[in-house]
Amino acid sequence: MAFPVAAISTLAWRNLWRNHRRTLIMLLAITVGVWAMIFMASLMRGMTDQMVRNGLQTLPGEVQIHQRDYLRDPSVVNSMDAPGGALLARLQEAPVAAWAGRVRVPAVIASERGNRGVTLLGIDPVAEAALGSLPDELVAGRALDGPGDRGLVIGANLARRLETAVGKRVVIMSQDTQNNVAERGARVVGIYRARLQGSEDRYVYAGRAAVQDLLGIGERISEIAVTGHDYRNVAPWVPRIAAAAGTGLEVLPWTELDTFLGSMLVVQDGFALVFMVVVFLALSFGLVNTLVMAVFERVREIGLMQALGMRPGMILGQIMLESLYLLLLGLALGNLLALVTVKPLESGIDISSVAQGMEMVGMGTTLYPVLHTADMLMSTTVVIVLGLLASLAPAWRASRLDPVAALNKT
Amino acid sequence: MTDISCRNLCKTFHQGDATIRALDDVSLDIEEGSFVCLSGPSGSGKTTLLNALGGLDTPDSGEITVGGQRLDLLSKSELAQLRLNRIGFVFQAYNLVPVLSARENVEFIMQVQGVRARERRSLAAAVLAEVGLEDMEERRPAQLSGGQQQRVAVARAIASKPALVLADEPTANLDSRSAAQLMDLFVTLNTERGVTFVISTHDPRVMGYAGRLISMRDGRIVADERQQPHAMAV
């Protein structure tokens, strides 16, 4: 005899609504629980996403190519030739969305009022703009107009510390390939504001050719930054770039360049799962109580079902199905609620009141929640799997009732 | 041909310090197509015997054979299967599923048996018409009187075409008129379909319908008489 799904489904659904109030309260609890799971996950995803994007936009790119010794000693000594041949061809085809070759060296910037250690970046502004790694907001002066621009664009915080401004001259110093001091005066042409104050202090932008000229390295560069279309999915195309780059160069994805950021994704998945499980554990008490009460109130009826010839497995199935209906309804409503509450917030939540604290973890003043289908699926899986597990005990007890005792229950 | 055979059934219950012998060495044979009443005062063992015959309760010792199957050799699922396909139950309290309509209650067993929807529906309609409830198919139990509910319970019991119907004080909660109608229905099913009826009762009017009257007291059969059945006077 086949399992009578239709018969059991009808019974389970109608039994669910026998006590409207209890079912609605439990449904509300599941809905709010599911919403909380997805909403919190979207906030966490938004935080991590922003941390990673900020991290990637402040220069690394999703993949970097440099000399094998560059990371150990990021000086001009470990520079590389501008890309050509097979590597250039590879950089110009999908899935590469943009790339930029840049000179990046430690330097000192000095004004008449003070000096600071900085990272000097010789860039091609057009290529960097395509990469999305230029500062967001220019607050004074102008942007660099090309690789040959001999002016400097510095951060607002650095300008404040150096007590300098647009139009003033500063001195920039670094080391050339012979370890001699290379220095020249340059005019501040622009002042930028970055999402992270630390970036404003650290990065000084100049035309790439001007920096190459300062360091006497000809056309050589320090690194090539590359981006694709999804920072979460760079692993498949890194080997192809590496093959084209040859053995003398190192090609690293951002997860290896910044292991803290890289580990954030994994840690966040774990946090989201733990949070969902904790929320559901709290919910499960209510769910089990609802089912225990439902079984307790229907002991005679369950005895009758047994007397009529329903096997224990069918009774178990009926109670489990009742629980499943409740869970599915709660999931549908919870997901819907999450959708209508998170979507409007995706344009950003102002968290400027805690901006200083958030900056320490690489975040700006606005939090952008991100609703991931994967999180909705994860919460659905957690709720269904744990929900059915929690329902097993009352369902099992119901299926094992002694029919005579059940029928005689008053 | 023997439909039910019991040998040396014993069943003991413990209530506090007291031990109650609900069945005390009961042996019995019931032929196919018979109409049997189990009579006796409350606590005489009628319901325990009925439950044991239906495989709902397990005796402490002894053997029961129903339709050639030894009940003590069957698993819980096999016993459920036997009840589903071979035995119909009618209880004292009407025991319908409150969330199902009269028709759905009748169809339920057939649905569990795997009978196709169209066949199920026409059978349920026919059986409900047979018990006089053709206009009340879509009513839920709460919308039916006691007598009507009991007739739905009978319709459900016979819809799956059982060879045996076990009825535990089926008229106890019915008025005289409904009780007479129900017993007439039982007799019709017994004579026209050859369904075996075993009915427990302490109502003398119900006993009058039986072709065989078994009296019990203190868990023992004290009398086993064949009689000429006669209808209840309403």
Note the pLDDT tens digit of each residue in A356-371.
666 655 566 777 888 8
Q: Exposed, middle or buried, B70 (CB in 10 Å: 0-12/13-18/19+)?
A: exposed
Whether residues B84 and A309 touch (CB distance < 8 A) is answered with yes
Reference B106, options B123, B89, B81; nearest CA is B123
C-alpha to C-alpha distance for B120 and B127, rounded to whole angstroms: 10
Sketch the domain layout of chain B as residue ranges.
2-226
Measured between CA atoms, the residue of chain A closest to residue B108 is A7
C-alpha to C-alpha distance for B157 and B162, rounded to whole angstroms: 7
Q: Is B92 on the interface with A (CB under 8 A)?
A: no
Give the model confidence (pLDDT) of B152-192 as tens digits. 998 898 888 888 999 998 888 778 888 888 888 889 889 98
| A183-189 contacts at long range (C-beta below 8 A, 24 or more positions apart) | A183/A214, A184/A214, A186/A150, A186/A151, A186/A152, A186/A210, A187/A150, A187/A151, A187/A152, A188/A141, A188/A151, A188/A152, A188/A153, A188/A154, A188/A159, A188/A164, A189/A141, A189/A142, A189/A144, A189/A149, A189/A151, A189/A152, A189/A153
Give the fold, CATH level 3, of B2-226: Rossmann fold (3.40.50)
Q: How confident is the model at residue B109 (pLDDT cuts 50, 70, 90)?
A: confident
**Residue A53, H or E segment:** helix A20-57
Give the distance from residue A14's alpha carbon to the nearest chain B alpha carbon, in angstroms.
6
Give the distance from residue A406's alpha carbon to the nearest chain B alpha carbon, in angstroms.
11
Which A positions 366-405 lie with beta carbon below 8 A of chain B? 403-404
Q: Assess whether pLDDT exceeds 70 at residue B233.
A: no
Q: Is B76 on the interface with A (CB under 8 A)?
A: yes
Give the model confidence (pLDDT) of A113-122 as tens digits. 889 999 999 9
C-alpha to C-alpha distance for A262 and A62, rounded to whole angstroms: 11
Q: Is B91 on the interface with A (CB under 8 A)?
A: yes
Using a CB-CB cut-off of 8 Å, the residues of chain B touching A1 are 81, 84, 112-114
Q: Is B162 on the interface with A (CB under 8 A)?
A: no
Q: Is B80 on the interface with A (CB under 8 A)?
A: yes
Give the distance from residue B213's alpha carbon to the nearest chain A alpha carbon, in angstroms.
24
User: Quick one: pLDDT at residue B234?
Assistant: 47
Helical spans, DSSP H, in A182-298: 197-202, 208-215, 238-245, 254-257, 259-297
Whether residues B108 and A403 touch (CB distance < 8 A) is answered with no
C-alpha to C-alpha distance for A339 and A337, rounded to whole angstroms: 5
Q: How confident is the model at residue A35 (pLDDT cuts 50, 70, 90)?
A: very high
| Residue of A14, A308, A311 for testing the chain B interface, max B β-carbons within 10 Å | A308
Give the model confidence (pLDDT) of A327-382 as tens digits. 999 999 999 999 999 888 888 787 777 666 666 555 667 778 888 888 889 889 98
Sketch the domain layout of chain A as residue ranges.
5-55+262-407, 62-254
Q: Assess whether pLDDT exceeds 90 at residue B141.
A: yes
Q: Is A312 on the interface with B (CB under 8 A)?
A: yes
| Residue of B76, B112, B161 for testing the chain A interface, max A β-carbons within 10 Å | B112
Q: Is B167 on the interface with A (CB under 8 A)?
A: no
| Residue of A407, A408, A409, A410 for testing the chain B interface, max B β-carbons within 10 Å | A407
The residue-averaged pLDDT of A388-409 equals 88
Which A positions 7-66 lie with beta carbon below 8 A of chain B? 7, 10-11, 14-15, 18
Q: How many beta-carbon pairs below 8 A join chains A and B?
A: 73
User: Quick one: pLDDT at residue B49?
Assistant: 94
User: Quick one: pLDDT at residue A120?
Assistant: 92
Give the distance from residue A302's alpha carbon to the nearest chain B alpha carbon, in angstroms.
10
Number of Cβ within 10 Å of residue A406's Cβ equals 20
Give the model confidence (pLDDT) of B56-100 as tens digits. 999 999 999 998 899 999 998 899 989 988 999 888 876 899 999
Which A positions 289-308 lie with beta carbon below 8 A of chain B? 300-301, 304-308
C-alpha to C-alpha distance for A109 and A201, rounded to whole angstroms: 11
Give the distance from residue B77's alpha carbon to the nearest chain A alpha carbon, in angstroms.
5
Residue A189, C-beta contacts closer than 8 angstroms, at least 6 positions apart: A141, A142, A144, A149, A151, A152, A153, A166
Measured between CA atoms, the residue of chain B closest to residue A305 is B97
Q: Is B51 on the interface with A (CB under 8 A)?
A: yes
Give percent of chain B above pLDDT 90. Answer: 52
Whether residues A300 and B113 touch (CB distance < 8 A) is answered with no
Give the distance from residue B176's alpha carbon to the nearest chain A alpha carbon, in angstroms.
25
Higher-pLDDT residue of A237 and B222 is B222
- This complex has an ipTM of 0.85
Q: Is B69 on the interface with A (CB under 8 A)?
A: no
Contact indicator for A371, A343 with CB cutoff of 8 Å: yes
Nearest to B80 among A300, A304, A310 (CB): A310
Using a CB-CB cut-off of 8 Å, the residues of chain B touching A314 are 112
Give the model confidence (pLDDT) of A37-52 as tens digits. 999 889 888 888 777 7
Listing DSSP states for A34-45 in one string gives HHHHHHHHHHHH
User: Quick one: pLDDT at residue A3?
Assistant: 66
Measured between CA atoms, the residue of chain B closest to residue A2 is B114
- Return left, alpha or beta for B18; rule: phi > 0 is left, psi -120 to 50 is alpha, else beta: beta
Q: Is B84 on the interface with A (CB under 8 A)?
A: yes
Nearest to B77 among A2, A305, A312 (CB): A312
Using a CB-CB cut-off of 8 Å, the residues of chain A touching B94 are none
Contact indicator for B163, B195 with CB cutoff of 8 Å: yes
